[in-house]
Amino acid sequence: MELVFATHNKNKLTEIKAMLPHHIKLLSLDDIGCTEDIPETADTIDGNAILKAEYVRRRYGYDCFADDTGLEVEALAGAPGVFSARFAGDEKNDDANVQKLLEHLKGKDNRKARFKTVIALNLTNNENLFTGICQGEILEERRGKKGFGYDPVFKPDGKTQSFAEMNLREKAEISHRGKAFRDLIAYLAQ
């Protein structure tokens, strides 16, 4: 089976390739010649995942899946949420996003947060959604060098390490993306 993962993000691609069964050949947007940034104009994480999957199916004709992920911080009324990648500006700078988040939470006791990933799968013109959520908290400072995005400041509930201190396998076992992708993989295995 050949599937396109509607992403240019090499970090996400590496994480997902490590989880997929070997009989599924995973292609990226770069592999199919899609160089444009797919518009993410929905006001929900679910909506953006659906938009991206439909875009690839319509324009390129491939079976595909797309994900959208947001960090929802309780003390910020769910922000950055759908704007997580662009929290500090359109350039999608991870360091700037983390710095802005830490500044907004300075002095706040409530640091509860959750990551939410939604995957939209378009397979032979049928659409399915898979959702994964990981509850945790925002640390007061960055810890770890692995991962990407908000990983250095997100500590999952029940763990002592940030996502950026975990290896890929450890992170995938408990992460929002890992949960959603396990559901996707189980569906594809049927």
pLDDT in tens, 156-190: 999 999 999 999 889 989 999 889 999 998 898 77
Is 68 assigned a catalytic role? yes
Q: How many CB atoms lie within 10 A of CB 52?
A: 25
Looking at residue 43, the DSSP 8-state letter turns out to be S
pTM of the model: 0.89
- Residue 175 pLDDT: 94
Cα 170 to Cα 4: distance, rounded to the nearest angstrom: 25
Pairing of strands 80-81, 64-73: antiparallel
Q: What is the pLDDT of residue 1?
A: 84
Any idea what the CATH number is for the domain that residue 130 is in? Answer: 3.90.950.10
Answer whether residue 155 shows pLDDT above 90.
yes
Q: Which residues of 35-160 form beta strands (DSSP E)?
A: 64-73, 80-81, 112-123, 126-138, 154-156
Name the pLDDT band for 125 (thresholds 50, 70, 90): confident
Kindly name the residue from 43, 67, 68, 94 that is annotated as catalytic: 68
Structure confidence by residue, pLDDT tens digits, 63-112? 999 999 999 999 999 999 999 999 998 888 999 999 999 999 999 999 99
Q: How far is CA 37 from CA 7, 92, 116, in A?
A: 9, 12, 21
Residues 6+ positions from 50 with CB-CB distance below 8 Å: 42, 66, 120, 127, 129
pLDDT, mean of residues 22-35: 91
Rounded to whole angstroms, how far apart are CA atoms 123 and 146? 32
Quote the pLDDT of residue 18: 77
pLDDT band at 13 (very low <50, low <70, confident <90, very high): confident
Structure tokens at 109: 């006791």
Which domain does 134 fall in, by range? 2-188
pLDDT, mean over the chain: 93
Please tell me the total count of domains within the chain.
Answer: 1
The per-residue pLDDT for 57 is 93
> Residue 17's pLDDT band (boundaries 50, 70, 90)?
confident
58 and 30 in contact (C-beta within 8 Å)?
Answer: no
pLDDT band at 8 (very low <50, low <70, confident <90, very high): confident
Query: Which H helix or E strand runs over 3?
Result: strand 2-5
